[in-house]
Amino acid sequence: MSRTTVLYDPDGHIEAELPLDRTTHQCLIKAVLAWKGDPGLQAADYHQIALQLTGAARSVATDVRRAAGRLPERRAARALAEYVLDDADQRLAAPLEGTAGCAQERARIVRSLYERLDRLTELAPAPAS
């Protein structure tokens, strides 16, 4: 018999305290974007990689939203972050395919979100806990 505990955290307080596994994400992004042509993986492998990158994109997007929210509303960096988030949301809405191109597209999304997060973090460091 196994026991599971379900966490109820609709406001994302627990997630906000957990650091992203950025090193793993960046290694995967680098590997996927280094592909020249089709590396010869199975469709299920491409699909799994795209799923992993989609999850990473959604996690990083949450951090970008949080960081952008700490900036004044009329700040250009906040408007740019909102644009990047809207673009990422539209691109993530595309259905997953078991192809190298789909996995690479997801890798580019995560990369752009991390770039935006880094710039926002420079402008508005995270509040002290």
Q: Which residue in the block uniquely carries the two structure tokens 């789909």? A: 102
What is the per-residue pLDDT for 121?
A: 87
Domain-embedded: residue 33: no
What is the per-residue pLDDT for 83?
A: 95
Contacts of 28 (CB under 8 A, 6+ apart): 49, 52, 53, 56, 107
pLDDT in tens, 91-128: 999 999 999 999 999 999 999 999 999 999 888 665 65
Domain-embedded: residue 2: no
On the question of pLDDT at 72 being above 90, the answer is no
For 107, other C-beta atoms within 10 Å of its C-beta total 26
Number of domains in the chain: 1
Domain-embedded: residue 90: yes
Domain-embedded: residue 66: yes
Domain-embedded: residue 63: yes
pLDDT band at 5; cut points 50, 70, 90: low
pLDDT in tens, 17-50: 555 678 999 999 999 999 998 899 999 999 999 9
What is the per-residue pLDDT for 105?
A: 97
Burial class of residue 97, CB neighbours in 10 A (0-12, 13-18, 19+) = middle
Domain-embedded: residue 108: yes
Closest CA to 91 of 114, 57, 42: 57
Among the residues of the chain, which ranges form H helices?
13-17, 22-33, 43-69, 76-92, 100-123
Domain-embedded: residue 6: no
Question: Domain residues for 50?
Answer: 41-122
On the question of pLDDT at 87 being above 60, the answer is yes
Domain-embedded: residue 60: yes
CA 22 to chain centre: 10
